Amino acid sequence: MGHAPILIVVIPLLAAFLTHLTKYVKLKRGAEIVAAIGMVVPLALLLSLGRGVIAGGSVQYNLGGWPPPVGISLTIDGLSFFFALMVLGIGLLIVLYSLGIYIFARRYYSLLLIALSGILGLVLTRDIFNMYVFFEVLAVASYVLVAYKHKPRAVKASFKYLIMTEAAWVLFLLAIAILYGLTGSLNMDSIALQIDKIYQANPQVIYLVFSLMMVSFGIKCGMFPLHTWIPEVHSQAPTPVSSLLSGLILKVGLYAMLRIFFLFFGTTLLLQSAGQLVLYLGVITLVLGACLALVQDELKKLLAYSSISQIGFVLVGIGLGTELGLKGGLFHIFNHALIKAALFFCAGIIISQIGFWRISRMKGIWRQMPGVTFSFCILSLAIIGVPPFNGFVSKLFILQATLAQKNYLVIVFLFMGILLTAAYYFRVIQTFFSPEEFQHKPDFVPQPVGPFEHLSTYVVAVLCLLVGLFPDVVIKFIQPAIKVLLP
Amino acid sequence: MINGINIGIVVVLVGIYGLLTKRNIIKMIMSLCIMNSGVILFFISIGYVFGGQAAIFEDSSSLMVDPLPQAVMLTAIVIGLGVTALALALAIKIYDEYKTLDTNKLLEK
Cβ atoms A349, A450 nearer than 8 A: no
Helix (H, G, I), strand (E, B) or coil at A363: coil
Would you give the end-to-end CA distance of chain A in angstroms? 28
Asked if the model's pLDDT at residue B109 lies above 80, the reply is no
Residue B40, pLDDT score: 92
Q: What does the pLDDT average to over A366-393? A: 86
Q: Within 13 Å, how many C-alpha atoms sit on residue A419's CB side? A: 6
Q: Which of A331-345, A417-431, B28-42, B55-69 has the lowest mean pLDDT?
A: B55-69
Residue B38, pLDDT score: 93
Chain B positions touching A170 (Cβ under 8 A) are 12, 15, 32, 35-36, 39
Residue B61, pLDDT score: 65
In this complex, the residue of B32, B79, B91 whose CB is nearest that of residue A133 is B79
More confident: A264 or A437: A264
- C-alpha to C-alpha distance for A218 and A253, rounded to whole angstroms: 7
- C-alpha to C-alpha distance for B81 and B84, rounded to whole angstroms: 5
Q: What does the pLDDT average to over B16-38? A: 91
Residue B15, pLDDT score: 92
Residue B88 pLDDT level (bands cut at 50, 70, 90): very high
Residue B14 pLDDT level (bands cut at 50, 70, 90): very high
Cβ atoms A362, A372 nearer than 8 A: no
Residues 24-43 of chain B with CB under 8 A from chain A are 25, 28, 32, 35-36, 39, 42-43
Cβ atoms A436, A363 nearer than 8 A: yes
Asked if the model's pLDDT at residue A2 lies above 80, the reply is no
Asked if the model's pLDDT at residue A448 lies above 80, the reply is no
pLDDT digits (tens, 9 = 90+) for A29-55: 778 888 888 889 989 988 888 888 888
Maximum C-alpha span of chain B: 65
Query: Between chains, do A180 and B43 touch, taking CB under 8 Å as contact?
Result: yes
Residue A270, pLDDT score: 65
Q: Is the CB of residue B7 less than 8 Å away from at least one CB of chain A?
A: no
CB-based contacts of A440: which residues, under 8 Å, 6+ apart?
A354
Asked if the model's pLDDT at residue B31 lies above 90, the reply is yes
Residue A119, pLDDT score: 92
Cβ atoms B31, B61 nearer than 8 A: no
CB-based contacts of A114: which residues, under 8 Å, 6+ apart?
A12, A13, A16, A137, A141
Q: Which own/partner contact pairs does A423-428 have at CB distance under 8 Å and 24+ positions apart? A: A423/A294, A424/A290, A424/A293, A424/A294, A424/A296, A424/A302, A424/A306, A425/A306, A425/A380, A425/A381, A425/A383, A425/A384, A427/A294, A427/A359, A428/A299, A428/A302, A428/A359, A428/A376, A428/A380
Residue A162, pLDDT score: 92
Q: Is the CB of residue B16 less than 8 Å away from at least one CB of chain A?
A: yes
Chain B positions touching A179 (Cβ under 8 A) are none
By C-alpha distance, which of A169, A195, A170 is closest to A182? A195
- C-alpha to C-alpha distance for A281 and A225, rounded to whole angstroms: 9
CB-based contacts of A157: which residues, under 8 Å, 6+ apart?
A146, A147, A229, A232, A233, A235, A236, A237
Chain A positions touching B46 (Cβ under 8 A) are 177, 180-181
Cβ atoms A122, A134 nearer than 8 A: yes
- C-alpha to C-alpha distance for B72 and B63, rounded to whole angstroms: 21
Closest-approach residue (CA) in chain A for B107: A156
By C-alpha distance, which of B86, B102, B64 is closest to A161? B86
Residue A269, pLDDT score: 66
In this complex, the residue of A136, A170, A186 whose CB is nearest that of residue B39 is A170
Mean pLDDT of chain A: 86
Q: What is the ipTM of this complex?
A: 0.93
Query: Between chains, do A155 and B94 touch, taking CB under 8 Å as contact?
Result: yes
Residue B87, pLDDT score: 92
CB atoms within 10 A of CB A327: 22
In this complex, the residue of B42, B82, B90 whose CB is nearest that of residue A158 is B90
pLDDT digits (tens, 9 = 90+) for A380-429: 999 888 888 888 888 999 999 888 888 888 899 999 999 999 998 998 88
Query: Between chains, do A140 and B46 touch, taking CB under 8 Å as contact?
Result: no
DSSP assignment string, A13-41: HHHHHHHHHGGGS--TTHHHHHHHHHHHH
Query: Between chains, do B90 and A170 touch, taking CB under 8 Å as contact?
Result: no
Q: Which of A133-147, A307-321, A442-456 has the lowest mean pLDDT?
A: A442-456
Q: Is the CB of residue B14 less than 8 Å away from at least one CB of chain A?
A: no
Give me the percent of chain A exceeding a pLDDT of 70. 99
Q: Is the CB of residue B87 less than 8 Å away from at least one CB of chain A?
A: yes
Chain A positions touching B25 (Cβ under 8 A) are 159
